[in-house]
Chains A and B, each alone.
Chain A
Amino acid sequence: MGKRDAVVVLSSDEEEEDWKPNKNSRSKLSSSVPQANPEVAKKKKKARFSSSVPRSRSSRVDQFEHLGDEFDEALRAFNGSIGYVKNQRKELWVDKYKPQSLEELAVHKKKVEEVKMWFEQRLRTPKEEFDSYVLVISGPAGVGKSATVHMIASHLGAGLCEWKTPIPTLWQEHVHNSSSGIRYTSKLDEFENFVERTRKYISLSGESKSSIILLIDDLPVSNGKFAYGRLQNCLRVLVQSTRTPTAILVTEYGNTETADRTARSIEELVLSLESAGACKVLFNPVTLNSIKRTLSRICRLEQCNVTAGEIDLIAKASGGDIRHAITSLQYYTLKPETSFSSPSSNGALACFEEKTVDLNSLDVEASLPFGRDETLSLFHALGKFLHNKRDTENAVTSDHDRFHLREKFRRLPLKMEAPEKVLSQAHGQARPVVDFLHENVLDFIRDENIDDAWTVASYLSEADFLLASSRGTITRSYEAESVLQSTAVSVAVRGVLFGNSNPLSSRWHAIRRPKIWQVEQSSVCNKFEMMKQRFTAYDGLSSSNLSHVAMEHRHVLKWLGSRPYGNGVLTQGNDTEGNKVDGMTSEGQQCEASEDEIEDW
């Protein structure tokens, strides 16, 4: 296909995918030319972006750059000829600023070192026997799991053998294929084949070429018990038999409504892999500082003037998700130059009355649109509610004069907008707001005002009730649900404002993340575990109550601790009857024990 220069073909066919490993293998070679190429391209681009870059390089550098340019041209022409032109300028920053070396990774140094050591040992000394060749890397989205493995592989000069999810087959395609004799293979089959192949292929050629890392980024979807079992088996076999260093990446889901049963089953899968002998490394969210460092590096390269404060905000709001931080930065720098200096959403603020002018300086930060779930603006709003600033005297009471409240129900006017308005500007969602308030409100109540704490708690519980009812049924219309949610959040916020009759004088408090989320998560996890045990114990008949399992069976199991686990589970059903009485008498003790267990979990 003939392509002129001006036309960029945006395509993403096999050629591109072919091209990618190519790139990989090229960077594996330590010869300088291909390595230098991205560098040069970057420099060149910089120069193109703004002419203000001082051209004070030595002629040699110029020459080199010229050479690089030529190479670049040639490369582009080459790429163009195969129908793919890499578009240098219009990439996502996330792709554009992919880390190029281990040092550039935003992941904690020690973690990287740990993973690197793990791979290095297994690659460098293939003769030795390690008890495990599979590393499960788990962590939340966007903490650099894949990037770390990719970088380590290229650092160690190892090839990556990556499982790529195949494209689903269309029905027409299938019909076409089957007429020409190609049989349909399920994606799970393909995965199994892949695992099988790599296992065998590498063990065959294992002596000479040991420098291959197997990367499974995307576990295939397993739907239903049978498929799931197959996947689990397949992976277990892989863990037990492979001699190739393998990384399996698992994304953890935090506390969102999306943390559904899939997440549970993935957790279970990880557990089973571990029990089969896989090592596990947990990636934590990226630290604030390294996000900031990365962001400011990008800013420097892109030559956009974002202040340190703004970078700080973006970094904080991203919650340790570096990919999201970079995406946010890219989005944030898309500001019309004219109003660059005032990053306030004038639209939302302009329609306020004059009295907000003094608040404006604060709201400038409050209305920044970043963040995944809990936006920073939400924290500002929460701060307002918790600090509960009020006018010192009841200036205007004329409106309420016709109606006198009892002393204890009287409050001074609030020094803020209507709470609902503040919330809607902060894009607050009901559930997190209530949880956050619940977690933090006690810090703001005076020790002696126990009545206030009582009031606040009762209002919060009512809000919780309202919310719970909207969570339970999903058949309700959006309309009804939104009314319920806004009622709930209003009750919570106003309850906190009203209940805290005598707030502590303004003092700095860090707003904590609700602990309850963690607890909920681990409780769901425990429950799931117990369901599983119950299932095995009763052979599918779910006749026993979960709390029975928790209160009685588990302790029997613990008590029988010396026995092998599997047997213990099986005997559990028989032991039930006898231990019921026991369970009643030593209830308290068992409660303690179960709490301990939860901590261990």
Chain B
Amino acid sequence: MASSSSSSVSSNYDIPWVEKYRPNKVSDIVGNEDAVSRLKVIARDGNMPNLILSGPPGTGKTTSILALAHELLGANYREAVLELNASDDRGIDVVRNKIKMFAQKKVTLPPGCHKVIILDEADRFFFDFFGGNMVKCRYNISMTSGAQQALRRTMEIYSNTTRFALACNTSSKIIEPIQSRCAIVRFSRLSDQEILGRLMVVVETEKVPYIPEGLEAVIFTADGDMRQALNNLQATYSGFRFVNQENVFKVCDQPHPLHVKNMVKHVLEGNFDDACSGLKQLYDLGYSPTDIITTLFRIIKNYDMAEYLKLEFMKETGFAHMRICDGVGSYLQLCGLLAKLSVARETAKAV
């Protein structure tokens, strides 16, 4: 990502923008204002309850919890925060001991402060806990309860010195006894405006040349995921030095939504041949069926069409997506999908 040939660079050029522009203060976090406002109060008053932060990726869960920890603990951050995420070794013993040892560690803190244990990607955590892949733990699943018990006891016993923050994608994957001990903070996808606002800040400070359509494309590819948006922006910039639609889609290697949109339009107008040739073109460009169908689904979701058609289109796309995920990722499936969409359209059409 970091090419050294550029001239307009600051010294820390090769830091990913995701890291460079990661907010350090809770108040700088974009979106989810309800959650963030509460976290702000915690940052001010201390006494953080045990938290589960759940929401889709790239919505600021990790960022806010890190920022919160920084604000709470300030200079003590190094010794009073234990961060475990998916990249750490999560063998059961390592984790259990790490957490427990940390909880027992004596740290001198100002009153009202607590040590913080951050478990990132906690829903994976209970699976990865066993150092094995998920399939393996299907058979070994009673291990889960070990992890659970260790954690839930630890939470209780050390609650006056140590607090937990768990970040995960779906809170229901966290076992009930732990859910019961935590307040759940829900994060939802960022709106396009919120992402745009942040992108503008970055674009301005980095002096990235852009056209508005380019940013729009970045936002489209990101789909409410700030991390992705920043990564794509940076990738486009370092690849092409200019952010316009074409470059963005080239870099992100996604089928051009306009192209896909045209396909849908052709289907709706009854030009099956045109739709098919559009598909062929996309396929020949080398996009995998998974890429195409994912984009197609998102286009259909936002396309303005009659309710019945939308429903049917979504259903068929869903089935096609399922088949493709199951390994039948052939061109034929995509053509078949277009045909089915056309049939749905014909059925619905008034004679």
Interfacial residues, chain A to chain B (CB-CB below 8 A): 6-13, 17, 86-87, 89-95, 140-142, 165, 167-168, 170-171, 218, 221-224, 228, 251, 253-254, 256-258, 260-262, 265, 321, 323-324, 327-328, 330-332, 334-336, 339, 344-348, 351, 367, 369-373, 375, 399-400, 403-407, 409-411, 414, 420, 424-425, 427, 429, 432, 459, 462, 466, 469-470, 474-476, 478-480, 482-484, 486-488, 490-491, 494-495, 497-498
Contact = CB atoms under 8 A, between A and B. Distances in A.
Contact of B176 (A140, A432, A475): A140
B61 interface: no
Given A12-B103, A258-B175, A476-B325, A330 B183 contact: yes
Nearest to A390: B307
B349 A406 contact: yes
Nearest to B111: A8
Q: State the 10 A-B residue pairs at the shortest beta-carbon distance, nearest first.
A: A347-B33, A487-B318, A345-B34, A331-B183, A142-B180, A10-B161, A221-B146, A262-B145, A404-B350, A141-B180
Given A12-B103, A369-B34, A487 B317 contact: yes
Contacts of A367: 34
Contacts of A424: 188-189
Contacts of A483: 294, 297, 321
B159 A95 contact: yes
Contacts of A491: 311, 314-315, 318
A90 B111 contact: yes
A13 B104 contact: yes
A494 B311 contact: yes
Give the residue among A8, A92, A332, A427 with the most B Cβ atoms within 10 A. Answer: A92
A331 B165 CA distance: 13
B142 interface: yes
B96 A372 contact: no
Interface of B: 31-38, 40-42, 45-47, 49-51, 54, 56-57, 93, 96-97, 100-101, 103-104, 106-115, 126, 134-135, 138, 140-146, 149-150, 153, 157-162, 169-177, 179-186, 188-189, 191, 193-194, 268-269, 290, 294, 297, 301, 304-311, 314-315, 317-319, 321-322, 325-326, 347-351
Nearest to B169: A478
B112 A87 contact: yes
A369 B179 contact: no
**Central interface residue in A167, A265, A425, A498, by most chain B CB within 10 Å:** A167
Contact of A11 (B42, B161, B186, B189): B161
Contacts of B160: 10, 12, 86-87, 90-92, 95
A261 B141 contact: yes
13 contacts: A7-B111, A11-B106, A12-B103, A165-B150, A168-B93, A223-B146, A251-B176, A328-B184, A330-B49, A369-B35, A427-B186, A462-B318, A483-B297
Contacts of A482: 56
Contacts of B97: 168, 170
B106 A498 contact: no
Contacts of B149: 165, 218, 221
Contacts of B177: 141-142, 251
B172 A257 contact: yes
A410 B311 CA distance: 12
Which of A7, A10, A432 is most buried by chain B, counting CB atoms within 10 A of its CB? Answer: A10
Nearest to B97: A170
Contacts of A13: 104, 106
B173 A347 contact: no
A282 B32 CA distance: 40
Nearest to A397: B306
Given A9-B108, A369-B34, A466-B319, 9 more contacts: A165-B150, A256-B172, A256-B175, A336-B37, A345-B33, A484-B318, A484-B322, A494-B307, A498-B307
B350 A351 contact: no
B150 A327 contact: no
Nearest to A222: B142
A127 to B, nearest CB: 37
Contacts of A370: 184
B142 A497 contact: no
A353 B170 CA distance: 29
Nearest to A221: B146
B172 A373 contact: yes
A462 B42 contact: no
A369 B38 CA distance: 11
Contacts of A334: 38, 41-42, 45
A95 B159 CA distance: 8
B193 A223 contact: no
Nearest to B34: A345
B153 A165 contact: yes
B176 A253 contact: yes
A324 B179 contact: yes
A168 B100 contact: yes
A258 B142 contact: no
A532 B179 CA distance: 31
B161 A12 contact: yes
Nearest to B96: A168
A332 B300 CA distance: 38
A265 B31 contact: no
Contacts of B193: 351
B315 A403 contact: no
A567 B101 CA distance: 51
A478 B57 contact: yes
Contacts of B157: 12, 17
Contacts of A89: 47, 111-112
B134 to A, nearest CB: 5
B100 A92 contact: no
Nearest to A92: B159
Contacts of B107: 10
| Chain A CB within 10 A, most for which of B33, B126, B153, B305 | B33
Contacts of B40: 336
A491 B344 CA distance: 15
B111 A87 contact: yes
A431 to B, nearest CB: 8
B49 A420 contact: no
B185 A369 contact: yes
A260 B144 contact: yes
Nearest to A347: B33
Contacts of B305: 400
A335 B100 CA distance: 32
A288 to B, nearest CB: 17
A505 B102 CA distance: 59
Which of A86, A347, A405 has the most chain B CB within a 10 Å cutoff?
A: A347
A406 B307 CA distance: 12
A488 B38 contact: no
B340 to A, nearest CB: 13
Contact of A171 (B35, B93, B348): B93
A557 B143 CA distance: 35
Nearest to B42: A334
Nearest to B146: A221
A474 B134 contact: yes
Contacts of B189: 424
B103 to A, nearest CB: 6
A488 B318 contact: yes
A404 B32 CA distance: 41
Contacts of A261: 141-142
A228 B157 CA distance: 26
B197 to A, nearest CB: 11
B34 A373 contact: no
Contact of B290 (A327, A425, A480): A480
Nearest to B114: A10
Contacts of A327: 49-50, 181-183
A90 B96 contact: no
